[in-house]
Structure 1
Amino acid sequence: MTAVVASAAVYGPTAAIAQTSNDELADLVRRQAAQIERLEGRIQALESDEQGTAPSNAGMASQSDSAAQDSSRNVVDSRQQPKSGPGATSPQASTGSMASMQEQIDTLKQNSVQVDWKTGSPKFSSRDGDFTFQPLGRLQYDYSTTDGSRYADREIDGSEFRRLRIGFQGQLMEPILYKVEFDFAEENVGVRDAYIATKKDFALGQGVVYVGNKFADRSLDGATSSKYIWFLERNPVANAIIPESGYYNLGVTSAFYGKDNWHVSAGVSKGDLGNSNTESDNTTLISRAHFNPFVTDNAMMHVGAWGFYEDFARGNQDDLTDSERFASHFNDNVRVYSDTIDEPETSTGYGVELAGLAGPVAAGAEYGRRTIDTRAGDDTDYDAYSAQIGYSLTGEQFGYSTKNGAWSAPTIDNPVTDGGWGAWQVMARYDALDYENNGQFAGGTGHGTTLGVSWYLNNYTRFMLNWINWNTNNRVPIAGDPTDRDFTGSDDGNTISARAQVIF
């Protein structure tokens, strides 16, 4: 099923787009614009010529002497006479020519490619809007440094491309949508969103069905795009209370977006794109819903809940060990990790969300728990929670989507590119993760406080700075670590991370 769905998701848009490259589309737009400009110029010339042959009523009315007026009625200006001889054009012929050219212009405009730059990259579309194509890009370059740990191996610094994505999305025809996105940040090229979808409008809202690899709808921070999360990394509710398939759902996902600020989604997946077809993959069911009890021009309240169930394929996964980075993505050594869980059978997870904003202030909190049942008889569970608050120094509201129930991009009132200061935000977050809920498993615990600053130069460029004060307490060594590093016991330190981001 993995190969079939992935190929179906990629083939449709690729075949359609292969016929027309970006350069060809741009050249077509330029040539059509030039042709329309030439035709409109000819119309203006004909209109000017026709105005020159029209009677000058204003000049006649300006005569104050009545006798002169009577005389002027008998005088015919030679300019008012129709041209005669070869090459003469009658008013009727001019009118017909203009009508013909206007019809050509209308036809060109009807069939021409439209280009919209509002979202940062060119969105090409047919005049009727049935076909659209838009390139996508995401560049996030990070630097991180850690100190204060009692383990020298944790005090490291360096930089990385956290995400380096390229892709495209659009509509093949009404109502068929598509999206394909690749990530080049890791050692191997990874496929992110790769799906075909169909949509339908109803009295209560819009329903959409996605087939392929789709970003999973789970938790407030987890459902928020990495382009718009407040901090460099998502909170432990999103990162740790998660099925083995991860952040993407390979299968079928359906969502209904209500007109009155609510939505509900449900998906079923069978494995992920990275697994071999020679093995049976885990089956996962996942669902999320949100509702906004009130929404005004400068305030809103968000309530949400989600859950998942996964069935581990027998013989495919003999044991399970979970762990979570607690400083930065670059520093892989600062982790909180669980004990090894033998013969996992099923896993269930759930979470609740609460958030709101009022003017330049925004806040959010969420909690999640995962329970793992085993065939060996020893079950366990663990939980995580997080709370964050932010303030916009330049007055812009934090971005939020009432459609998806997730944080989104703020509107930049005074971008640097227009001579302004851009948008400045300050944020704070507290996180906690506990793998120690069952005495049978010697899991670790961790908590941390993050302070952050974001500077949006415009809608597409952003700089971020985070300071994290973290604490970990691991009771057992990292299971399966080939380096045999022993980061057990209580440890704390500080990590500073920075990011430069460009998106379109």
Structure 2
Amino acid sequence: MTRTLMASAAFLALAVANPALAQAPTRDELADLVRAQAAEIASLRQRVDALEATRTAAAAPQQSAPVVAAAEPEQAAPTILSTQPYAAQLLPPGPAERDIERVRATAVAATDVTTEWGQGLPVFHSGDGTFSFKPRGRIITDVSTTRGSKYDGRNLTTTGMRALRMGLEGTVGSHLFYQFESDFSENAVDVVTAFIGWKNKIAPGLDYDVRVGHLFNDRSFEGSTGSDSTPFAERTVVATAIIPQRAFYGLGIMPRLFWKTGHASLTVTGDRIDGDQSTSDNRTVIARAHWNPIKSPRQVLHLGIWGFDEHLQPGKNTLGRNTVIGGRFNGALRLSTGDIIGGTGTTGYGAELGGYTGPLWVMAEAGERHARLDNGRPDFVTQAWSVSGGFFITGDLPPYNPRLGSFGQPKVLRPVFDGGPGAIELTARYENLEFKDIATPAQGWAATLGANWYLNSFVRFQVNAIHWNTENTAGIYTGKDDGETLTARVGVTF
């Protein structure tokens, strides 16, 4: 406590003890006392401003601390509490804490780390350009309701997480890159993408990369499109049925070659990550190529071919299909064959034809899969085809990725968060699937009308209205059946 404040306290104590003394000071003495108190308050105000300037300089060393003018005594008293940079009940940081903050800020400045914001999360770059790092995430939530089936067990209303992923990606130097993602959508940890890679240029307009690890298939147009980028709530039956037995992922190697109008890839993998090393893995080889004979800022023609061959090991040779036809989140609504034992391998192939002009896009896909069986039995054959299309009524271009020949994240012209309408897309699709040349054949088709609203490049809402028709000979729901499914989705991709 300062001398002036101590004098004031002593005077008040005497006044309380002897009321007669309270009237002793003259007006000039009281005026002197008030001026002294105001000076003390102004001094305290200057000290607080100095502390605040020091903290600001430590937090942002690249900026000069503002020069704070001393307040006049009569202005200091009413505003002193509102300028505190810390809670009133806490003490300001001491000298040691301020030194630590300065050292930390200096270290950050010395590394010259830069940060940019892209798909909702920051991307960090080292000052020398050697390293980059970016968190990744995907949250996709669905609700689905089915009506019209002759089986009550199919008329369900359900909810589910199509994807709930967290991961990271980064680069080291100009050539090395990596990516890792885990998915928690089924309330269990599932490693999905996990690889390291090397990239380089061969010549102007010609480059390559090689990835090693747990890899996502490069197979068919929508089969090569991530779940966060498909124009419908579920991929086409070509992508979901003309597929290796190990499904969308396998552990192995994938070299890819890129040129100005297309790409080609070759993938050799074993099984998915499963923790089972007691038997040999199945072996799968996949190849795909796409070409854009027409490629301009507003027009693209897409041609693609692909195929795979899979060898199944004894003990891992049970075949069978249980394929989505009217939405993922109705487990009773599938085209099913039941288990088929004695498989020795599978071979599949397909073709893609489509493109876009302005805001209108169309894509057709077809494929066939032969599952080889032992003991001289004929192949179990799967055939599928689909025709899809969309139109952006807001004038945005389709999110076609010419480097990979698949869909990616859209570039929204007028995002909602900038005061625009976002990107609004109307979609339609027809798809057909048939399992044949087995004792339990099945066939079905589905017609879908949809709408997508992209608030910006990484936030979207989807609605799909699906009329489906199935005919199963295996499982609980046999015979012909049809109905309608309405699916809604909200998705965020970082």
What's the offset of the Cα at 1:388?
A: 0.5
Partner of 1:215: 216
Call closer, same or farther: CA 1:142–1:31 in 2, change over 3 Å.
farther
Partner of 1:427: 427
In structure 1, how many angstroms separate the alpha carbons of the residues matched to 2:457 and 2:184?
23
Partner of 2:247: 246
Call closer, same or farther: CA 1:37–1:353 in 2, change over 3 Å.
same
What's the offset of the Cα at 1:414?
A: 1.2
Q: Would the aligned equivalents of 1:279 and 1:316 in 2 still touch at CA under 8 Å?
A: no
Deviations 1:369-389 (A, max 9, x none): 000111221122111001011
Q: Would the aligned equivalents of 1:299 and 1:358 in 2 still touch at CA under 8 Å?
A: yes
What's the offset of the Cα at 1:291?
A: 0.4
What's the offset of the Cα at 1:310?
A: 0.4
In structure 2, how many angstroms separate the alpha carbons of the residues matched to 1:427 and 1:441?
37
Q: Which amino acid aligns with 2:189?
A: V
Deviations 1:377-436 (A, max 9, x none): 112211100101111110101111110011122211111111111110000000100002
Deviations 1:41-95 (A, max 9, x none): 99xxxxxxxxxxxxxxxxxxxxxxxxxxxxxxxxxxxxxxxxxxxxxxxxxxxxx
SS at match of 1:239: helix
What's the offset of the Cα at 1:473?
A: 0.4
What's the offset of the Cα at 1:333?
A: 0.5
Partner of 1:230: 231
Alignment of 1:75-474 (within 5 A): 111-203=111-203, 204-258=205-259, 260-274=260-274, 276-317=276-317, 319-338=318-337, 340-378=339-377, 379-436=379-436, 438=437, 440-474=438-472
SS at match of 1:347: strand
Deviations 1:213-256 (A, max 9, x none): 01110000011111111000000000010001211121111111
SS at match of 2:295: coil
Between the aligned residues of both structures, percent identity stands at 37
Q: TM-score, normalised by structure 1?
A: 0.76
In structure 1, how many angstroms separate the alpha carbons of the residues matched to 2:441 and 2:187?
30
Partner of 2:24: none
What's the offset of the Cα at 1:261?
A: 1.7
What's the offset of the Cα at 1:174?
A: 3.2
SS at match of 1:128: coil
Q: Would the aligned equivalents of 2:241 and 2:382 in 1 still touch at CA under 8 Å?
A: no
SS at match of 1:120: coil
In structure 2, how many angstroms separate the alpha carbons of the residues matched to 1:178 and 1:32?
35
In structure 2, how many angstroms separate the alpha carbons of the residues matched to 1:327 and 1:282?
30
Deviations 1:141-190 (A, max 9, x none): 10000000000000000211111000000113332111010101113210
Give the unaligned 5+ runs of structure 1.
1-29, 43-106, 479-485
In structure 2, how many angstroms separate the alpha carbons of the residues matched to 1:120 and 1:214?
25
Deviations 1:411-464 (A, max 9, x none): 11111111111110000000100002x2x4331001010000000111121000
Partner of 1:16: none
SS at match of 2:62: helix
Call closer, same or farther: CA 1:109–1:472 in 2, change over 3 Å.
same
Give the unaligned 5+ runs of structure 2.
1-55, 68-106
What's the offset of the Cα at 1:135?
A: 0.4
Q: Which has the larger radius of gyration?
A: 2
Call closer, same or farther: CA 1:501–1:32 in 2, change over 3 Å.
farther
Q: Which amino acid aligns with 1:470?
A: W
CA RMSD for the aligned pairs?
A: 2.1
What's the offset of the Cα at 1:33?
A: 7.8
Q: Would the aligned equivalents of 2:119 and 2:493 in 1 still touch at CA under 8 Å?
A: no
In structure 1, how many angstroms separate the alpha carbons of the residues matched to 2:110 and 2:380?
63
In structure 2, how many angstroms separate the alpha carbons of the residues matched to 1:275 and 1:473?
37
Call closer, same or farther: CA 1:458–1:262 in 2, change over 3 Å.
same
Partner of 1:490: 480
Q: Would the aligned equivalents of 2:57 and 2:64 in 1 still touch at CA under 8 Å?
A: no
What's the offset of the Cα at 1:108?
A: 8.3
What's the offset of the Cα at 1:315?
A: 3.0
Q: Which amino acid aligns with 1:403?
A: R
In structure 2, how many angstroms separate the alpha carbons of the residues matched to 1:160 and 1:346?
33
Q: Would the aligned equivalents of 2:386 and 2:432 in 1 still touch at CA under 8 Å?
A: yes
SS at match of 1:295: strand
